[in-house]
Structure 1
Amino acid sequence: MSFLGSFDISASGMSAQRLRMDIAAENIANVDTTRTEAGGAYRRKDVVFQSYGDNSFKDALKNAAKGNGYVAKRTPGVRVSNIIEDDRELKRVYNPSHPDADADGYVEMPNVDVLKETVDSMSATRSYEANVTALNAMKAMAQKALEIGK
């Protein structure tokens, strides 16, 4: 992996965490949505991350232990491989005056927990910030390396 490939790794992490924050915001925005285009109440969404690149961490560790170093043909990183719907049961709330109430007066509400979404959003924010910090550290190292020739 080249020194500048580190920028790609941090950028891929920032991109993935930004999408995770967007999904958490979408979930919070739809906490009271009882009617969707697909029919029924809104279902919570979650992101699935996937690493990519030629070598896994296990392979890199084995190569380092053998003294071969780490050589990748493609810069590793992370991406969102899928956005899935949470299959937990929807909440049933008694509200007979609601237009979407069933014959017994219950309304199916989204399976979104605002507290969990807030924690997910905070976690994604911290991960994003960690990638920004790593990116800035690599940028500072590159600038120092350029100053060596002066």
Structure 2
Amino acid sequence: MDYLSAFQISASGMAVEKMRLDLTTANIAAMHTAAPNAASVYRPMHVVAQAVPLSFAQRFGEMSVSGGGARIVAVQGDASPPRQVYEPGHPYADAKGFVNYPAVDQVAEMLNVNTALRAYEANVAAMSAARTMAARALDIGGAQ
């Protein structure tokens, strides 16, 4: 078993989940920031990730697995229209008294935080298991 590949796969998953967590916390932080017009409102950002494909030889064990894992393909802004709140006394209120806020859904963002944390923890556990297996293999090989 190629332990380095297992470490790289877990590390790539951890990097994706860290980016997801960073963007989610930025979205939550900007949730209550008003803008003077709809065009300048903060757009919530989301990670687009995909699996790193294995080659034909890697899938059938002819070579050591050096691919696999996950990678960030893009960071996309949400195209949802801004949330309008009636606040006639606000400095950014339009003629009708509405203020533009980012279209951040707090419940969805908190769900993203929880899933990113759990996925990160799962990758840490997988990396720890691979490390333990590698250490045991060295112990067994060194005992002879």
Scaled by the length of structure 2, the TM-score of the pair is: 0.87
Give, in angstroms, the shift of residue 138 of structure 1.
0.3
Which residue does the alignment assign to 1:33? 33
Which residue does the alignment assign to 2:24? 24
SS of the residue aligned with 2:3?
coil
Matched, 1:98 2:90: yes
Aligned-residue CA RMSD (Å)? 2.4
Counterpart CA distance in 2 for 1:72 and 1:143 is 19
Which residue does the alignment assign to 2:11? 11
SS of the residue aligned with 1:4?
helix
Kept in 1: contact 2:14–2:123 (CA 8 A): yes
102, 115, 131: which is aligned to 1:123? 115
Which residue does the alignment assign to 2:136? 144
Kept in 1: contact 2:3–2:131 (CA 8 A): no
SS of the residue aligned with 2:76?
strand
Unaligned 5+ runs, structure 1: none
Counterpart CA distance in 1 for 2:111 and 2:65 is 36
Quote the sequence identity (%). 39
Counterpart CA distance in 2 for 1:6 and 1:73 is 8
- The AA in structure 2 aligned to 1:25 is T
More moved, 88-97 vs 8-17: 88-97
Scaled by the length of structure 1, the TM-score of the pair is: 0.84
Counterpart CA distance in 1 for 2:97 and 2:63 is 63
- Identify if the C-alpha distance between structure 1 residues 70 and 108 changes in structure 2 by more than 3 Å, giving closer, same or farther: farther
Unaligned 5+ runs, structure 2: none
Give, in angstroms, the shift of residue 53 of structure 1.
4.3
